[in-house]
Chains A and B, each alone.
Chain A
Amino acid sequence: MRVNFTVNGRPQQADDVWEGESLLYVLRERMGLPGSKNACEQGECGSCTVRLDNVPVCACLVAAGQAEGRDVVTVEGLAEFAERRDATAPGGPEQGSGTGLDEARRWQPGPGGSTPLAPVQQAFIDAGAVQCGFCTPGLLVAADELLERNPEPSDADIREALSGNLCRCTGYEKILDAVRLAAARTGEEG
């Protein structure tokens, strides 16, 4: 089947999608966006967390066909998403800002763009919250959404919001540090 949806603000299309494929598979294998990770494919690790119509979900548990016509934000688009959110605050992020299909097809994830890292991305680097990095994309999407909802989370709030994201390397301490750091920096700016 054919599936059309918006990813990181750009319309995307995939053909010959097997009906049992997940959104995660389509993103990774058909759209050149492997940032969302395939660690468990059963909703028990959060590594594939994306925003689906703004809501954090496990992309492995969304059937590709269910994404038809929806907006998806992945870690590859997180910096831009955060920048647009800040630019349009408090109304929330502006969605689907008219990128043509051709442009979307040419678009590649890459450092070439001028978009700086989202605060939470920079904080993960600075706090040493990244080791192997496989859990990082999902954690970033989840942590960014937490800070969008709750700019000054308590440690317990952070732990609860990230309780669906497994990390096997860090023991989570530096992930907590990173989220606190991102919150503090955002607070200073605001």
Chain B
Amino acid sequence: MDFLRPAGWREALAAKAEHPTAVPIAGGTDVMVEINFDHRRPDVLLDLNRVAELTEWEVGERTVRLGAGVPYTRIIEELRTELPGLALASHTVGSPQIRNRGTVGGNLGAASPAGDSHPALLAAGAEVEVESVRGTRMIPVEEFYTGVKRNALEPDELIRAVHIQKAEGPQQFSKVGTRNAMVIAVCAFAVALHPRTRTVRTGIGSAAPTPIRARAAEDFLNAALADGGFWDSGAIITPSVARQFAELCAGACNPIDDVRGSAAYRRHAVSVMARRTLGWTWQAYREGNGRTVQCA
């Protein structure tokens, strides 16, 4: 095994070009588990901890360009306002120690359907900035996940950053696990209101081979909210609309039975989380984003 320690981004890209099988390691929270348990023996480990650019972010007018190596803890502490959904999701990742090391870039690189950040990225709207010595590509996050633990990266590419739309309305994230902390998602759900475009977007984790959006549910809800004039009136969403939205979210799932949960439960839980999180975000929208919930 080789261990490469590029000191900067250009050097990292060159190393990746030269060693396309190199496994990037940042927080190590996935890669080291695989090495410790003998599930993986990469030829080359490519340490990205020294690439300072990756741990920075820029807040633009419409988006946050979040470096791939920003640990979850910093998102929770410093980007709550711009990225509330991702901050909530980040808060459910592993433990404090894991949140101190783990990164959104790593979550995208691993592309596990259970990765906690994915639903929040899908709901907020995001593009993944990937780069190689050949150049830069922007990949909409929906297109980034290509299969169970597979993503759209070419062998010589690294994730540079994620461009996430700044919240212009309330966002929520919920995750079901069978423990009250430090738990992998049985399934997860994120919702984001986009008042400017008068749309609602969703993200679902651990309930299909890849993280997904519940597009039929979004379409239904967007139409129902528009038809009922809800964005203007701020009226409470009709329970039957919320129910239908929740059912469509469950319908978007394509889950499996495994040791963490049954497929039927996952569908059911997604519908409950969809209904609840829609309720919380809509309530916040009605109150002009007033009440906040202390999510620890």
Contact = CB atoms under 8 A, between A and B. Distances in A.
B9 to A, nearest CB: 17
Contacts of B279: none
Contacts of B47: 63, 65-66
8 contacts: A41-B33, A43-B94, A46-B97, A55-B101, A57-B101, A60-B36, A63-B25, A160-B181
Interface stretch (A17-25, A83-91, A112-120, A123-131): A17-25
Contacts of A20: 1, 35, 41, 45
A63 B32 contact: yes
A161 B33 contact: no
A143 to B, nearest CB: 11
Given A19-B2, A61-B29, A66-B28, A49 B296 contact: no
Contact of B32 (A22, A46, A142, A161): A22
Q: Which of A20, A44, A68, A156 has the most CB of B within 10 A?
A: A20
A101 to B, nearest CB: 22
Contacts of B32: 22, 43, 60-63
Contacts of A165: 95
B49 A66 contact: yes
A61 B180 CA distance: 23
Contacts of A18: 1
A43 B29 contact: yes
Interface string A12-34: 00000011101000000000000
A1 interface: yes
A165 B41 CA distance: 28
B45 A43 contact: no
A15 to B, nearest CB: 14
A58 interface: yes
A164 B95 contact: yes
A19 B4 CA distance: 10
Given A20-B35, A41-B36, A42-B36, A62 B28 contact: yes
A163 interface: yes
Contacts of A61: 27-29, 32-33, 98, 101
A56 interface: yes
B97 A58 contact: yes
Contact of A62 (B1, B3, B101, B181): B101
B182 interface: yes
B82 to A, nearest CB: 23
A171 to B, nearest CB: 15
A120 B101 CA distance: 24
Contacts of A66: 25, 28, 47, 49
A145 to B, nearest CB: 9
B178 interface: no
A147 to B, nearest CB: 14
Nearest to B99: A164
A55 B29 contact: no
A165 B181 CA distance: 10
Given A46-B97, A65-B47, 7 more contacts: A1-B3, A19-B1, A42-B33, A43-B33, A57-B101, A66-B28, A163-B182
Interface string B1-40: 1110100000000000000000001011101110111000
Contact of B3 (A22, A49, A63): A63
B96 interface: yes
Interface string B255-289: 00000000000000000000000000000000000
Contacts of A58: 29, 97-98, 101
A176 B182 CA distance: 18
Interface in A147-187: 156, 160-161, 163-165
A60 B97 CA distance: 11
Contact of A22 (B5, B36, B100): B36
B28 A63 contact: yes
A68 B3 CA distance: 12
A164 B37 contact: no
Nearest to A1: B3
B116 to A, nearest CB: 14
Contact of A164 (B35, B98, B180): B98
Given A22-B36, A62-B101, A156 B96 contact: no
